[in-house]
Amino acid sequence: MKLPSPHDLGLHRLLKPLRPLVSPLVDTLAMQRMRSAVNIADLRQCAKLRAHKMVFDYLDSGADDEITLRRAKDAYSELEMHYHVLAGLKPPLDLSTKVFGEKVSLPFFACPTAGNRMFHHEGESAAARAAQHHGTLYGLSSLGTTSIDDIAKMHTGPKVFQLYVWKDRGLVQEVIAKAKKGGFQALALTVDFTWYGNRERDIRNGFTIPPNYTVKQVVEAIKRPAWTWDFISNDPYTYANINKDVPADSLAAFVNNQINPAFNWEDAEWLMKEWGGPAAIKGVVRPDDAMRAVKAGFSTMWVSNHGARQLETSPATIDVLPSIRAAVGPNVEIIMDGGVQRGTDIAKALALGADSVGVGKPYLYGLAAGGTEGVIKALNILKVELDRAMGLLGVGTVDELKAKGPTLIKRRVGSARDYPYPGPNGCC
């Protein structure tokens, strides 16, 4: 027999009036840490210190042994930036570009990610407000915990709605109709999520949405008072864009029940006809799939391996990006995400073929560390770093970075220091 949760007992209704008094007290240290963060790695540590262990590990983890997760970050370090000098640039640089045909102020944006309210009660609202603040694209997941209508009120700029490969076509039609009505200009179909990845940190932690109230989870909750107060003093969250009456049970169980592994190219073509607007296929890592997607009607290739959370040892997206650009040519839009932790990473992706770059973990670290203010800070860190990288590279606009990219970014070649000569007898 399942024990009733604090939300089942209505505790949040009693605690909510106390939030103006209690929240500033329990959030003080967390907000101080977040405001002192210098880079995304610092924000990650802030998130780890504020969020419940189960929640942080869900955000931070990858599939299986997390080899792909590590490679996704390390791949950028193998790319050197061969900069021009005396470029005669005059600040401010122009970081604006177009995404899905819409003008934006930054060439990167917060990726659509599921269940944002588990990290902070502001959830997707925080990311939408941060995107509005920075004048960039906002992406909402169909497994979001904030509704399409609510997001439309907070973000008046370009928006993309992310859709999974659902079994029920009626559900698909209903959801995309809501997205159109809510002012979402583009659709992104996630195609690398037909099975649920093996995320072993979640298994060890007993991860569920909402959390089970085991002794272990309660102990971890006591260790993180800011997150725990935030969770128990606010309304329980649901998958707001599917059915608000359905509670947010185990994410894995929900996905296994709703996702359609049999979804194929013919289904994708049907979806393109139903949507009738700009659309990305999200999860492409092969040139042949990219070329087929263009034929199926997708306007945008979204190079992604689902944050290294699905198939272990799938390639780092920055490594396959140039081959996909070569396959689809210069006129097909490409978005890339995966492994981005620095503005220099964004610069490298733009130089090697991406038209814009999605970031996931960086802004979620900001969200878990400090809500809207944390997301604004995460995006600002990357903005400042990208601006600096472009200035030091000697390019004044995103278009110039893309045009000169292949001459600016080169794969590092191993030197004699990496492979020292062992000597005639096999010794140093």
Per-residue pLDDT of the chain (428 residues; tens, 9 = 90+): 567 788 888 989 999 999 999 999 999 999 999 999 999 999 999 999 999 999 999 999 999 999 999 999 999 999 999 999 999 999 999 999 999 999 999 999 999 999 999 999 999 999 999 999 999 999 999 999 999 999 999 999 999 999 988 888 888 899 999 999 999 999 999 999 988 889 999 999 988 766 677 888 889 999 999 999 999 999 988 888 876 555 555 555 666 677 888 899 999 999 999 999 999 999 999 999 999 999 999 999 999 999 999 999 999 999 999 999 999 999 999 999 999 999 999 999 999 999 999 999 999 999 999 999 999 999 999 999 999 999 999 999 999 999 999 999 999 886 656 555 565 565 54
Rounded Cα distance, 255 and 164, in Å: 9
Task: Give me the pLDDT at residue 104, please.
Answer: 98
Structure tokens at 325: 């650009």
Rounded Cα distance, 428 and 424, in Å: 9
Strand partners, 186: 160
Handedness of CA 247, 248, 253, 254 (dihedral sign): positive
Name the strand (E) or helix (H) holding 80: strand 79-81
Rounded Cα distance, 302 and 275, in Å: 17
Task: Give me the pLDDT at residue 133, please.
Answer: 98
Of 371, 326, 313, the residue nearest 353 (C-alpha)? 326
Rounded Cα distance, 149 and 147, in Å: 5
Task: Give me the pLDDT at residue 415, please.
Answer: 62
Q: Is 155 a catalytic residue?
A: no
Of 374, 352, 336, the residue nearest 79 (C-alpha)? 352
Of 338, 238, 333, the residue nearest 285 (C-alpha)? 338
Name the strand (E) or helix (H) holding 48: helix 40-50
Strand partners, 284: 303
Task: Give me the pLDDT at residue 75, please.
Answer: 96
Of 185, 183, 238, 190, the residue nearest 210 (C-alpha)? 238
**Chain-centre distance for alpha carbon 323:** 23
DSSP secondary structure code for residue 116 in this structure: G
Pairing of strands 333-337, 102-104: unpaired
Choosing from 52, 120, 155, 306, the catalytic residue is 306
Pairing of strands 279-284, 102-104: unpaired
Q: Contact at 8 Å (CB) between 337 and 360?
A: yes
Is the peptide bond prior to 20 cis by the omega test (within 30 degrees of 0)? no
Structure tokens at 123: 């959830």
Of 346, 293, 400, the residue nearest 136 (C-alpha)? 346
Task: Give me the pLDDT at residue 186, please.
Answer: 97
Name the strand (E) or helix (H) holding 265: helix 265-275
Of 239, 236, 230, 249, the residue nearest 374 (C-alpha)? 230
Rounded Cα distance, 86 and 385, in Å: 20
